[in-house]
Amino acid sequence: MANSKVWLIRGSSSGFGRSLTEAVLKKGDRVVATARKPEQLDDLVKQHPDAIAAVRLDVTNPQEVQAAVKLALNAFARIDILVNNAGYGAVGAIEEVSDEDIKRQFDTNFFGALNMTRAVLPTLREQRSGHILNISSLAGVVSFSGAGIYCATKFALEAVSEALAQEVKPLGIKVTNIEPGSFRTDFNGRSIVTSAHPIADYAGTSGRVIESNQAMDGNQPGDPVKAVTAMIQVVESESPPLRLALGEDAVNGITQKLDSMKAELEAWKSVSLSTRFEGETGGVASQSTT
């Protein structure tokens, strides 16, 4: 196991996290597997006692985040791949979702991933190597009625990842956003929290989208085992992508979004370019801000 990689995987008890943990162990790598209920990983610990360390982790608890990183280093002396996987979906029209649910959604999906990343970065910088996989979503590129708050957490994760990739590239650290479409995990089931106060005016928009997604539960076209195989392929690549869409629906949805953005940009280009001071001819800074 001298040349094996060490993975720190958030949310290892179910879904992509469980499938990825199993696949990583099967290929001979080592894993620090985190879960709110680490006893759900007892079967894997029994099968691979020297290759897995299971630890409780509530990503909204900064002390537990730091403890998970410390345990990983104590157990295996290094961290090669961080997988920010844990998350859930708070669904409902923007007006319907409560303040409390919005805060909890961001605390788990965005700040949990951000805090975990920041906790691991000192180790990766010292090693001058490592790879961070952020499990984003098609919803990190395309926003959907009825899932605006969930999409906002994934858009934020995408933005941080894009900046981080530029910051750490000279240090030998890689960053990839994984953007799955619909996969046959429990995400559309127990990982969905629906607004307790639906508003009738949104029944035909957000309400219809939410019903459609719930009806798909158990029949999603994506295979989680094939998805984690793709994730491992990314980690093993010398030139991994910043973004990897997974599933035909993700590829099609992102393609349509990009085509729509380009068409709208071109349609309004003359208005966009009309805002320059008269007589100015200099180029526009590529990373200017308002």
Residues tagged active-site: 136, 150, 154
Name the one residue in this structure whose structure tokens are 């003359």. 270
What the block records as the tokens of 271 is 């208005």
For residue 222, the 8-state DSSP code is: B
Q: What is the dihedral of CA 104, 145, 217, 17, to 10 degrees?
A: -40
Task: Give SS3 for 133.
Answer: strand
CA pair distance 154, 84, nearest whole angstrom? 12
What the block records as the tokens of 129 is 């190597």
Task: List all residues 6 or more positions away from 219 whose beta carbon is below 8 Å from its beta carbon.
Answer: 184
Answer yes or no: are the C-beta atoms of 140 and 257 closer than 8 Å: no
What the block records as the tokens of 153 is 């957490």
What the block records as the tokens of 131 is 């790879």
Provide the strand spans (E) within 10-58.
30-35, 52-56
Residue 84: beta bridge partners?
Answer: 134
Task: List all residues 6 or more positions away from 228 whose beta carbon is below 8 Å from its beta carbon.
Answer: 16, 19, 20, 23
Residues in the chain: 290
Write the CA distances from 153 to 12, 29, 235, 241, integer angstroms: 20, 30, 24, 21
